[in-house]
Amino acid sequence: MESIQEPQEIDYEKIGLKCGLEIHQQLDTKKLFCNCPSILRKDEADYKIKRKLHLVAGESGEVDVAAKYEASLDKEFIYEAYKDTNCLVELDEEPPHEINKEALEIALQISLMLNAKILPITQIMRKTVVDGSNTSGFQRTVLIAQDGFVETSFGKVGIATICLEEDSARIISKEGNVAVYRLDRLGIPLVEIATKAEIKNPSQAKETALKIGEILRKCKVKRGIGTIRQDINLSIKGSSRIELKGFQDIRNIEKAIEIEVKRQLDLIKKNQSAPEVRKVLADGTSEFLRPLPGPSRMYPETDLPLLKISRDIINKSKKNLKPKEEKIEGLNQEMVSLLFKEKKFEDFKELSKIFYNPKLIFKMLLIYPKEISSRKKIKNLEKKFSLDVLSSIIENIKKGVISEGQIKNILEKIAEGEDLNLIIKKSKPEEIENLEEEIIKIIKQKPGLSFNAYMGLIMKKFEGKFSGKEISDLLKKHFKT
């Protein structure tokens, strides 16, 4: 076989990688500032509205407004709308209604789970957008919370801001000076989570994205393609800031960062690193989208009062933080509900990551502890059966050090105060002895087979109990060519 060259390892600490994530997640509620359903449609629109946007002279110091205006001359925007799922608000013909309470509640739940500080008084803002994707010429957005964090195996990653904002209209076509947008997506609530640029390597980026994703899925968010969008900001020593946009697949994050960092290292050598926004392609590479824009122009949404987030609203959203029912292969819905009810869902997911055996993990979390506690009359098993202890049991099952059948017995011993490592050490020699006996027995019974054939037979018999290595080591001892 041809040897594949190992990719050169990058020392991310050395090159000073600073990376932050920005995640946009659609919420599963009605629209943020009107009472229309958040439905994307494929059927033909009922009617169309023709609009123009003119550049607005902004804050002082702005350059040559007239020239800018010229550039936008005669751009025409057609908005496709539906009689039953769009209203005057999306058409920019009616002021926004009060912010959707359910969406606000969900944003608060997410903020709480991200350990962020919720702002008691905040103002809904208009972020200027003149590409036509908003009928109003701006996107409404409001800062809900700041200064949170998520834990990763590489350390905490700070959450800078959590905002609630409205999604833009979908582009349908663009030809010459005419752009056609559909209003079905305009106004769907989005939660925008921006981490601090504290992520130090690609694996941490992926882990952070997964952690945030997990938290989002506990709330009433939309699922499926296009309902979550991830962007990455990154820079290394000597490079400009780069934004990587449009990850649909979280698995691409590590690869895309790695590729971009390599590209930047190369550009720095050539002294060509420039701030830009890049679109990530399916293979993890990216292409130039546009130069990195300056800070967005924001001003208050004068049609709405200040948003006051009272203790009551926060408490209510805490109370309503009911995780959505998930489906887990191998468990029936009753078992899934029980996991949630007993608040063991997170543990279940952690343990499943080590070794996927839903029924077994379910029993370890919910059945055995109860049985042991009632039979042995031992209280407060929670502490003894900590996630660390359970993880290490599962790891040993995965390695084949212990078998499924031993688990209940091991847990009982732990409940009685024994140390897991000791239990495993003690149990192991007996087991290994059994294994060795069995190997000798099989070789006697079926002489003359190949090494691999014996391996197969023994593996089958001790499925899961021992690792392949353990078996092959012992077999080598007794197998004679």
Partner 1 sequence: MKNINPGDFVELIFPNKSYKGILLESPKDEKGVILLKLDSGYNIGFKKKDISEIRLIKKAEKKEEKIEIKIPQEKPKIAMIITGGTIASKLDTKTGAVSPLTKPEEFFKFYPKIFDKVSLEKIIVPFTKASEDMDFKDWKKIAKITYNLLNNKEIKGVIITHGTDTLHYTASALSFFLQNLNKPVILTYSQRSIDRASSDANLNLQCSALASISDIAEVLLVGHATMNDDFCFAILGTKARKLHTSRRDAFKSVNRKPIAKIWPDKIEILSEHKLRNEKNKVKLDAKFNNKVALIKFYPGQNPDILEFYHKNKYEGLVIEATGLGHVSSLSKNSFLKKIKKLTKDGIIVCVTSQCIYGRVDPYVYSNGRELEKAGAIFLEDMLSETAFVKLGWILGHKEWKKNKQIIKQKMLTNFAGEINERLDEQFHSL
- The binding site for partner 1 (CB under 8 A) comprises 49-61, 65-66, 69, 88, 91-95, 119-123, 125-128, 130, 135-138, 141-143, 161, 163, 295-300, 302, 305-306
- In the complex with partner 1, the residue whose CB is nearer, 125 or 474, is 125
**Burial class of residue 167 (count of CB atoms within 10 Å of its CB; 0-12, 13-18, 19+):** buried
CB of 297 to partner 1, least distance (A): 7
CB 53 within 8 A of CB 149: no
- In the complex with partner 1, the residue whose CB is nearer, 35 or 450, is 35
| Distance separating alpha carbons of residues 275 and 235, to the nearest angstrom | 9
- In the complex with partner 1, the residue whose CB is nearer, 192 or 431, is 192
CB of 122 to partner 1, least distance (A): 5
CB of 305 to partner 1, least distance (A): 8
- In the complex with partner 1, the residue whose CB is nearer, 88 or 422, is 88
CB of 35 to partner 1, least distance (A): 15
CB of 57 to partner 1, least distance (A): 4
CB of 119 to partner 1, least distance (A): 5
Q: How far is CA 456 from the centre of its chain?
A: 40
CB of 152 to partner 1, least distance (A): 24
Q: Give the max Cα distance, the chain.
A: 95
- In the complex with partner 1, the residue whose CB is nearer, 76 or 346, is 76
The secondary structure of the chain, three-state, reads CCCCCCCCCCCHHHHCCEEEEEEEEEECCCCCCCCCCCCCCCCCCCEEEEECCCCCCCCCCCCCHHHHHHHHCCCEEEEEECCCCCCCCCCCCCCCCCCCHHHHHHHHHHHHHCCCEECCEECCEEEECCCCCCCCCEEEEEEEEEEEEEEECCEEEEEEEEEEEECCCEEEEEECCEEEEECCCCCCEEEEEEECCCECCHHHHHHHHHHHHHHHHCCCECCCCCCEEEEEEEECCCCCCEEEEEECCCCHHHHHHHHHHHHHHHHHHCCCCCCEEEEECCCCCEEEEEECCCCCCEEECCCCCCEECCHHHHHHHHHCCCCCCCCCCCCCHHHHHHHHHCCCHHHHHHHHHHCCCHHHHHHHHHHHHHHHHHHHCCCCHHHHCCHHHHHHHHHHHHHCCCCHHHHHHHHHHHHCCCCHHHHHHHHHHHHHHHHHHHHHHHHHHCCCCCHHHHHHHHHHHCCCCCCHHHHHHHHHHHCCC
- In the complex with partner 1, the residue whose CB is nearer, 60 or 445, is 60
CB of 120 to partner 1, least distance (A): 8
Q: State the pairing for strand pair 276-280/121-122.
A: unpaired
- In the complex with partner 1, the residue whose CB is nearer, 55 or 188, is 55
- In the complex with partner 1, the residue whose CB is nearer, 51 or 398, is 51
- In the complex with partner 1, the residue whose CB is nearer, 52 or 375, is 52
Among 156, 148, 152, which residue's Cα sits nearest to residue 107? 148
| Distance separating alpha carbons of residues 173 and 78, to the nearest angstrom | 10
CB of 310 to partner 1, least distance (A): 12
- In the complex with partner 1, the residue whose CB is nearer, 106 or 124, is 124
- In the complex with partner 1, the residue whose CB is nearer, 59 or 175, is 59
- In the complex with partner 1, the residue whose CB is nearer, 308 or 376, is 308
CB of 141 to partner 1, least distance (A): 8
CB of 192 to partner 1, least distance (A): 11
| Distance separating alpha carbons of residues 401 and 397, to the nearest angstrom | 6
CB of 323 to partner 1, least distance (A): 30
| Distance separating alpha carbons of residues 481 and 470, to the nearest angstrom | 20
- In the complex with partner 1, the residue whose CB is nearer, 104 or 394, is 104
CB of 88 to partner 1, least distance (A): 7
Cα of first residue to Cα of last residue in the chain, in angstroms, is 27
